[in-house]
Amino acid sequence: MTLGELFDEAVARFGDRPVLLGPDVSYVDYAARVNGCAQVLRSRGVGRGEAVAAVLPNSPLLLTLWLAVAKLGAVLVPLNPALRDAELEPLLAHSDAVLVVTDRPGPWRAIGPGELDVTAPAVPDVRIDPEDPVCLLYTSGTTGAPKGCVLTHTSYTAPAPAFVLRLGLDEQDRLLACLPLFHMAGQSFAVSALQAGASIGVVPKFSASGFWDQVARFDATVFRHLGEMLTLVLRSPIEPGKHALRLVYGGGARPEVAHAFTERFGTTVVEGYGMSETNTVLCGDPYDPRPGSMGTPLPPAEVRVDAPAGEVGEIQVRGPGLMKGYHRDPGRTRAAFAQSWLRTGDLGWMDDDAHVHFAARRTDVIRRRGENVDPGEIEEALAEHPDVLLGAVVGVPGELSDEDVAAFVVPLPGVRLAAADVRTWCRTRLASFKVPSHVHVVDRLPMTPTSKINRSLLRAAGAHGRNPRW
């Protein structure tokens, strides 16, 4: 099934129900917007297989544009609008985009987003294969240079039914979508809404202080998180009133954080796993949650760990949801695959019931004094400090060993925190070789648009040995 066919099926099944919230737009009316957008793109010369870039903030228009591009058999290249022109230009050149949708001036052939706000009864008849590319997604670059993942219609439509079934999503659900639609997590969440016939409330970005207002505004029942979002909501002084939020799905929350969120707000937290190259491939069971587990594979995906059960190895994935490869980069593509299995670069272990547990990113493991140090273990110790809001740990070049451990900590608002106190705290909880050699007390951590810690920037700052300004 193509992405356009999935949407058309949703329109036929759920016609008058709202697909967008605030203000509400029905599936039928939204189809006219998608068709109108496709007609405009076609009039500007966009054809099958051609790339259309989008430099837009998170909004319903970005979803409209993606569905319109899909119906033309074209390829969307969604780019982070926070990028500067000098950062955008090489990505646009690499993507071969024939048109850029943006209201930002620049040396590119562009169309303003307002020109796409039209309606039409139908779209041009284009023969599209489910294995045709529909999105060129540049990775967020938390551990290195961005890569362009070529994703097909099947990459999105194949995982959607099992994801919806596992989480129990249906047409009564109202999804709060604050993850950017220029990343896989935001895109797959939107596709799951279309698969279920649910409604979507799109907001420009996540805000811990505004989170419960957003939940109330859309009467949201489901929210997708990543990275440190739940920690920030828990540490926020804002308390919700009565709310309808029944389920939080995502990745990156420590078991104790997920448990605290459930205990405090009465909302089930389900952890999963996925990346730009794989879509969502693992998902826990909201009716049988296992603390610390990312869940079991979502059919038709398969997941394995290249180590015996209970031992840590690399997580590998195969199935129709995978990318076709990296755009114009056959060398990286070959290196990413072990035959038909994608090598994720993540370390984890599988228990006897096929539940997968995350250990660390291979690139994040710190080699110190002949020992492998998991930064996550040190970050857990930092999280227990009563004056620490957030903490992150990376390896930096060391004089006497392979690497030294550098910690970056953000104190709670209004709290003065000394680096020496942080090291003392760690010594009471960790072996000596795990205690950070360098502690940087900062006002904030560098984050990707999906609220993941940008470790590349931390390593660069730590290598210079001084407190950074992001």
Tens of pLDDT, residue by residue over 409-457, are 999 999 999 999 999 999 999 989 899 999 999 999 999 888 889 998 9
> What CATH number is given for 365-464 in this structure?
3.30.300.30
Give residue limits of the domains in the chain.
Answer: 3-157, 177-362, 365-464
Q: Write down the CATH superfamily of domain 177-362.
A: ANL, N-terminal domain (3.40.50.12780)
pLDDT of residue 466: 64
Cβ atoms of 390 and 412 within 8 Å: the answer is no
**Closest by Cα among 7, 299, 325 to 159:** 299
User: Which are the contacts of 466, defined by CB distance < 8 A and separation ≥ 6?
Assistant: none
Cβ atoms of 193 and 167 within 8 Å: the answer is no
* C-alpha distance across the termini of the chain, in Å: 43
* pTM of model > 0.85: yes
320: which 2 tokens? 């129709």
Task: Report d(CA 69, CA 111) in Å as an integer.
Answer: 14
Cβ atoms of 280 and 319 within 8 Å: the answer is no
The amino acid at residue 119 is: T
Task: Report d(CA 124, CA 262) in Å as an integer.
Answer: 48
Summary mean pLDDT of the chain: 93
**Closest by Cα among 410, 411, 402, 407 to 436:** 407
Task: Report d(CA 281, CA 150) in Å as an integer.
Answer: 17
pLDDT of residue 142: 45
User: H or E element: which one contains 201?
Assistant: strand 199-202
* The CATH number of domain 3-157, selected from 3.10.310.40, 3.10.580.10, 3.40.50.2020, 3.40.50.980: 3.40.50.980
204-232 exposure pattern, b = at least 16 Cβ within 10 A, e = fewer: eebbbeebbebbeebebbbbbbbbbbbbb
pLDDT of residue 48: 97
The amino acid at residue 327 is: H
**Closest by Cα among 355, 315, 356 to 338:** 315
Task: Report d(CA 190, CA 179) in Å as an integer.
Answer: 10
Residue by residue, pLDDT tens for the chain (470 residues) are 999 999 999 999 999 999 999 999 999 999 999 999 999 999 999 999 999 999 999 999 999 999 999 999 999 999 989 888 988 999 999 999 999 999 999 999 999 999 999 999 999 889 999 999 999 999 854 445 678 999 999 999 999 999 999 999 999 999 999 999 999 999 999 999 999 999 999 999 999 999 999 999 999 999 999 988 999 999 999 999 999 999 999 998 989 999 999 999 999 999 999 999 999 999 998 988 888 899 999 999 999 999 999 999 999 999 999 999 999 999 999 999 999 999 999 999 999 889 999 988 888 889 887 788 889 899 999 999 999 999 999 999 987 657 999 999 999 999 999 999 999 999 999 989 899 999 999 999 999 888 889 998 999 888 876 667 67
The amino acid at residue 337 is: F
Same fold, 177-362 and 365-464: no
Task: Report d(CA 228, CA 371) in Å as an integer.
Answer: 27
**Phi, psi for 416 (deg, rounded to 5):** -95, 125
